[in-house]
Amino acid sequence: MGPKRRRVVILGSGFGGLAAAEALRGADLDITLIDRTNHHLFQPLLYQVATAALSPGDIAWPLRTIFRSQSNVRVVMGEVRAIDRAGRRVQVTDHPPIPYDVLIVAVGSRHAYFNRPDWEGYAPGLKTLADAVALRARMVLAFEQAERRAATSSGATPLTFVIVGGGPTGVELAGAMAEIGRNAMLPDFPFLQRQAVRILLVEAGSRVLSGFPPDLSAHAQSALESMGVTVLLNQRVREVGPKGVTLDGQFIETGNVIWAAGNRASPLLSSLQVPLDKDGRVFVRPDLTVPDDDWLFVIGDAAAVQDGQGHFLPGLAPVAMQEGRYVAAVLAAPTATGKRAAFRYVDRGTLATIGRAKAVAQFGSVHVSGFWAWMLWCTVHIFFLIGFRNRFRVVSEWIWYYLTFKPGARLLDQSHN
Amino acid sequence: MGPKRRRVVILGSGFGGLAAAEALRGADLDITLIDRTNHHLFQPLLYQVATAALSPGDIAWPLRTIFRSQSNVRVVMGEVRAIDRAGRRVQVTDHPPIPYDVLIVAVGSRHAYFNRPDWEGYAPGLKTLADAVALRARMVLAFEQAERRAATSSGATPLTFVIVGGGPTGVELAGAMAEIGRNAMLPDFPFLQRQAVRILLVEAGSRVLSGFPPDLSAHAQSALESMGVTVLLNQRVREVGPKGVTLDGQFIETGNVIWAAGNRASPLLSSLQVPLDKDGRVFVRPDLTVPDDDWLFVIGDAAAVQDGQGHFLPGLAPVAMQEGRYVAAVLAAPTATGKRAAFRYVDRGTLATIGRAKAVAQFGSVHVSGFWAWMLWCTVHIFFLIGFRNRFRVVSEWIWYYLTFKPGARLLDQSHN
């Protein structure tokens, strides 16, 4: 036992929290990583689990395995109830309070329902493995029920999937559902007509992928349409219920609405008692700390961080990871606060995939689309996947799927009627 | 439309029902396969999903995909409520009655709790993917909670797993839990002592694997003990509750009891109104039909079938598959009932695995144990796995696991506290 080491507590094992913890390997610190699940989730591929192209095990990795060889990290699986700033400790359900000298808040965000939480039951979102597995079950079940109706009744009702939100998640979901629903699953349901399966993507703005330049948005939209997805722009969701979803102009009858619109940062952040933006994110200083504590950092989707031009950084994995590494660097070299260099996000480009051999990519002024953007997307995602094993499995899954068009994990793990 | 074809309805997509349907490929019949799930499950490897060595997708395969290219089979996913013998039709929840000319009942069995259904909540069994996923979650969670206790309190309580039933499932589970729990998981829980993890196998009889010859039972027991499993023989379970399990001589404190003792055939069989044996199985005639209907077959775990010596056949996959193929042959060549040759089970040997490079095998008078029995076990199981894809994945999983001792799928797909 040397002198007491600084206690660093990290809340959340997403890209930000994980990057911070890993970047502190070897540091003379006493790190506690707290997450409500026992795994790190590679969220960018979650939609592929939801559409049964991948298995949960392919995109998630147990935290304890990740940090098995990093002796300065202790993993705690638990639900953080509140942050006790006065006592400098974290309240965890069924666990003694966990004291900290340094706190890194990387608790991410959940979907936002425009103050209509009652919609969530009819329009679940996609943030966790549980979300993805539930969504997959709903999709498979919807096909089974439509097949049953088509086989036993004369008038077959259409099978409609409505995806709300034209951002990367919505676009990726719509593309994957079009491919898997129409190409992979439909042949297994002899009574279902191809045109009976409808996939609608609803976007409130004037274009999909609004984070990308207009030409790539246009490309993404036409790619989706070529896959049989109906893209509805400038359509706000007015109501969601058991029978379907009401847009500005129309009512769409469906039992399958998926929410990919808007995020709201974790409610836990309110216990910090610092100013939050309209999405519930914490306004942080250039060194990612809260205004009144040099050793309380907020990163990732939980933080509202401005870039050099005063724009707020998007909620993307690379942003969170760079923020995590920045905080780790600050802790590794504890200079006086005044001397801390401000965090600078280095934009290495953004990617979104639409479907098999269809993607868009932006690198500054360079815009790429189609097959090569997709290859790039695959490469980047495989590269960032944690652990050889997952890479190996995801690659083999993708190759298998690319060659055969047969997703493997299309299972309901219990009876549904 | 030619003349009306005979309607064959198959209840259950286990080994028996699936073998019958597949053996009828090309037959001029109108086949309906009904199952409450949408997949065929390779049950012999279910314990590996439960112990996180494999993912659900590795051992299950969607029925619609299996029969995609077999045009005389229609798949219905639904819960069979009753068999209406008078009306010669099957009642399915949320579905019009399904009429049959020929009925093949292959509904399998569930665990038997010796008329103590209240035990099931404390001692779940292992029959479905849902069972396996739930059991896996309980195991991982038990480790997390034990680690939490060990890390935060002084007196660490032991982490005890009790497996009830020394048959193949119980032995395989105990072996897998010993390997994965002690070798793969323990290193991830720094506060847990090795000896704090206890795995007990409770058997009411005088030896494990009683279906095997005594020398192989002895080998299996010593192999289990060498892996750190405590084998308790001649111990009947008297009570199971939230605090633990009471045996003849002792009370074992644990929240982790797994039931692998005894089966009871599906309650659905009572709607057949024919004599059942003590385990709820149907006494069938030599051609596997019920006494009063030449076109109502019962196969697999649902049937009590006698061999030439008057012994009842065990509830094993090979038995069910041979019975399914026998019925298919009868239907393909519809001779007068009197002329039907009786079903004969060809015993090609039995296998049980205990752990990595540990198994026992019997082929008539030939007894094999150890590494070569295990290699044989792997080969046979891979061979019988449905579809190249699953074989490919399971093999890669096993190789990975054999080399690294790191099971991959050790995930909790939602938060637990």
Q: What is the pLDDT of residues A283-335, one digit of tens each?
A: 999 999 999 999 999 999 999 999 888 889 988 888 999 999 999 999 988 66
pLDDT by residue (tens digit) across B243-290?
999 999 899 999 999 999 878 889 899 999 999 999 899 999 999 999
d(CA B221, CA B201): 10
Give yes or no for a contact between B233 and B205, defined as CB atoms under 8 angstroms apart.
yes
Q: Which residues of A touch B55 (CB under 8 A)?
A: 55-57, 409
Identify the band that residue B337 occupies on the pLDDT scale cut at 50, 70 and 90.
low
The token duo for A36 is: 């409500």
Tokens of B395: 């093999």
Contact check, Cβ <8 Å, A408/B396: no
Which domains are present in chain B?
A: 6-111+263-339 (3.50.50.60), 121-260 (3.50.50.60)
- Answer yes or no: do A392 and B396 touch at CB < 8 A: yes
Active site residue A147: no
Residues A381, A44: Cα–Cα separation, whole Å: 8
**Set of chain A residues whose Cβ sits within 8 Å of the Cβ of B36:** 415, 417
Catalytic residue selected from A147, A172, A179, A323? A172
pTM: 0.83
Q: Which residues of A touch B60 (CB under 8 A)?
A: 411
Least CA distance to B144: which residue of chain A?
A77
Contacts of A153 (CB under 8 A, 6+ apart): none
Q: Is the pLDDT of residue A414 over 70?
A: no
Of A78, A128, A187, the CB nearest to B68: A187
On the question of pLDDT at A406 being above 60, the answer is no
Tens digits of residue pLDDT in A41-78: 988 888 888 887 778 877 888 899 889 889 999 999 99
Higher pLDDT, A417 or B335: B335
d(CA A402, CA B66): 19
Residue B285's pLDDT is 95
pLDDT at B415: 38
Q: Answer yes or no: do B412 and A144 touch at CB < 8 A.
A: no
Of A211 and A12, the structure prediction assigns the larger pLDDT to A12
- Give ipTM to 2 decimals: 0.75
pLDDT tens-digit series, residues A159-186: 999 999 999 889 999 998 898 887 778 8
Instruction: Report chain A's terminal Cα–Cα distance, integer Å.
Output: 60
Find the mean pLDDT for residues A12-30: 94
pLDDT reading at B188 higher than 70: yes
Both tokens of B294, joined, read 């030449």
Which residue type does A93 have? T
The answer to whether B328 and B342 are in contact (CB under 8 A) is no
Answer yes or no: do B414 and A65 touch at CB < 8 A: no
Instruction: Judge contact between A65 and A59, C-beta under 8 A.
Output: no
CA B403, B404, B407 angle in degrees (round to 5)?
Answer: 115
Q: At what angle do helices A168-177 and A214-226 cross, to 10 degrees?
A: 20
B129 and A39 within 8 Å at the Cβ level: the answer is no
Contact of B412 with chain A, judged by CB distance below 8 Å, is answered with: yes
Beta bridge partners, B359, equal B353
**What pLDDT is attached to residue B394?**
63
Say whether A96 and B130 touch across the interface (CB within 8 A): no
Residue with the two structure tokens 């009925």 = B103
Contacts of A406 in chain B (CB under 8 A): 65, 389
CB pairs under 8 A between A and B: 140
